[in-house]
Amino acid sequence: MTDVTGKPGTPTAGSALGKVAHAGSDNITRLSENLRTRIPPLTAIPLPRKVDERWLGARWPIRELAAPPPGSTLKPVLGDDGPPLIGHTLDGMRFGLDFSLRRFAQFGPVSWMGVFGQRIVTLSGPEATQTALVNKDKAFSQEGWKFFIERFFERGLMLLDFGEHHLHRRIMQEAFTRDRLRGYVAQMGPALREGVAALPAGRPQLYWAFKQLTLDVATQVFMGMRSAADAERINRAFVAAVRAGTAVVRYPVPGGRWAAGLRGRRTLERYFGENLAAKRDADGDDLFSALCHAVSEDGDRFSDADIVNHMIFLMMAAHDTTTITASAMAYYLAKHPEWQDRAREESLRLGDDLPDLEALESLETLDLVMKEALRLRAPVPSLARKTTKDTSVLGHYLPEGTMVAVSPTLNHYSPEHWTDPLRFDPERFGPDRREDKSHRFAWMPFGGGAHKCIGLQFGGLEVKALMHELLRAHRWSVPEDYVAKWDYVSLPVPADGLPARLAYR
């Protein structure tokens, strides 16, 4: 065995006690995960409408973030700290879109609020968003993400800036070429067909079913992992790391999300580190192998540490966003059965063969539904940044070192850019309307600018493959009066797991 220094050691009473403590902590984590699938988080527990209205309607003293430089024509950013200590943290988690819309109505596209013990400026609407994401004068860095996820996704692509980000992105693009995507599609097809066929008829929670499916696909396609026991362990580690970023208690309390996330990160580092040499020696068709062998046009390669960091980040980026998108699509297709029938008809026309890349791309109805679901429920509702110097957005002064949150969600509900934005209407993305072209940043579920999601094509293909199999094998519905409540504790997910009536077709 090895001690914490990595040198040979011998078993001690302390190490034995450590194993016992670790096992106990694992049991606590598993218990909390099991409870999550059955009990909604505290922020999603139903309360009387008047209580919610009073909570959401609370007002706090408005202050300036910082005084603009003397003699400038800039305006201060206005906002409020919210409740003592916790600020608006719980408000955003409980009310999500409603909370954001109220803040926008009160303060406009540029405001600040207290959240997670920080003062964070929120940029909403296409114009404000464009300033930060196009970032012409390099005033906005990815440092904002570090507060939330650096402990768990250290040096992932999303956390890198400027020249270093550009270099790493160029190398990583070799893992997402069209030929590579074609290979990934071929690998994911059998796993998705088998998993969807095994879904139980009745009222399963579709979100949790999809999450297991996408995690299974990720461990196979991304890592070439075939061991069910290893896959379960790695999947738990990813889930823990993802949820830890928005922990209110940012300290490793046993059973807490922060502690589970740190433990998950260590598990992932060990796994990728132990398997890296074998991946370098064999040219496999999984993403892990692709990163090990990726070479840019200039001959640049990833170091071992780079590969470990990027794999951990890419797994997070892939499975959570895919699960959320598929869940949103399933919900809207259940609420609008005419669209479900239309999408099913297209899928059935493909026949019984597993669809390849071109076949998935031909599913136009699923494409429209996916884009509308991404508009209504953006999987990543906020993008973190930090100012590198004094700057301004729409005439408002932001000093150096300001934490910034860019809000794709509000762009997706702008009445200036979308017809009846609260309504489910996939035709808005059709060739005759293309409302998403009303502004470069009107529709931005994958971010924008230099940091636009590198795996967006892969994610879209996986979602379409999953929904294609679901349409072929099942019909599903929800009660007419059912309205999904979305939990924003981490990323937006159905608080009740999205129970649906599932029947074999």
> Which two structure tokens, joined as six digits, stand for 230?
């290893």
Cα 223 from Cα 289, distance rounded (Å):
8
One-letter amino acid at 294 equals A
pLDDT at 27 over 80: no
Q: What share of the chain is helix, strand, coil (3-state, %, to 5)?
A: 55, 10, 35
> Which two structure tokens, joined as six digits, stand for 442?
């009107």
Cα 264 from Cα 76, distance rounded (Å):
41
**Mean pLDDT calculated for residue range 261-271:** 91
Torsion of CA 257, 263, 264, 269, to 10 degrees: 150
Burial label for 351, CB within 10 Å (0-12, 13-18, 19+), is exposed
- Residue 439: other Cβ atoms inside 10 A: 18
Cα 172 from Cα 310, distance rounded (Å):
9
pLDDT digits (tens, 9 = 90+) for 197-230: 999 888 999 999 998 888 888 878 888 776 566 7
Give the residue among 272, 313, 267, 311 at the shortest CA–CA distance from 290: 311
Cα 120 from Cα 122, distance rounded (Å):
6
CA distances 197 to 251, 436, 498, 505, Å, are 42, 35, 19, 11
First-to-last alpha carbon distance for the chain, in angstroms, is 54
Give the pLDDT confidence score for residue 238 in this predicted structure. Answer: 81
pLDDT at 415 over 50: yes
Determine the number of helices (DSSP H) and then strands (DSSP E) in the chain: 18, 13
Q: How confident is the model at residue 489 (pLDDT cuts 50, 70, 90)?
A: confident
Q: How confident is the model at residue 20 (pLDDT cuts 50, 70, 90)?
A: very low
Give the pLDDT confidence score for residue 116 in this predicted structure. Answer: 87
One-letter amino acid at 307 equals I
Q: How confident is the model at residue 435 (pLDDT cuts 50, 70, 90)?
A: very high
pLDDT digits (tens, 9 = 90+) for 324-357: 999 999 999 999 999 999 999 999 999 999 999 9
Give the residue among 378, 382, 381 at the shortest CA–CA distance from 370: 378
pLDDT, averaged across the chain: 88
CA distances 23 to 28, 35, 220, 431, Å, are 9, 18, 27, 56
Secondary structure of 419-452 as H, E, C letters? CCCCCCCHHHHCCCCCHHHCCCCCCCCCCCHHHC
pLDDT digits (tens, 9 = 90+) for 45-102: 888 989 989 999 999 999 999 999 999 999 999 999 999 989 999 898 889 899 999 9
> Which two structure tokens, joined as six digits, stand for 280?
């370098």
pLDDT at 503 over 80: yes
Give the pLDDT confidence score for residue 10 in this predicted structure. Answer: 36
pLDDT at 150 over 90: no
pLDDT at 319 over 90: no
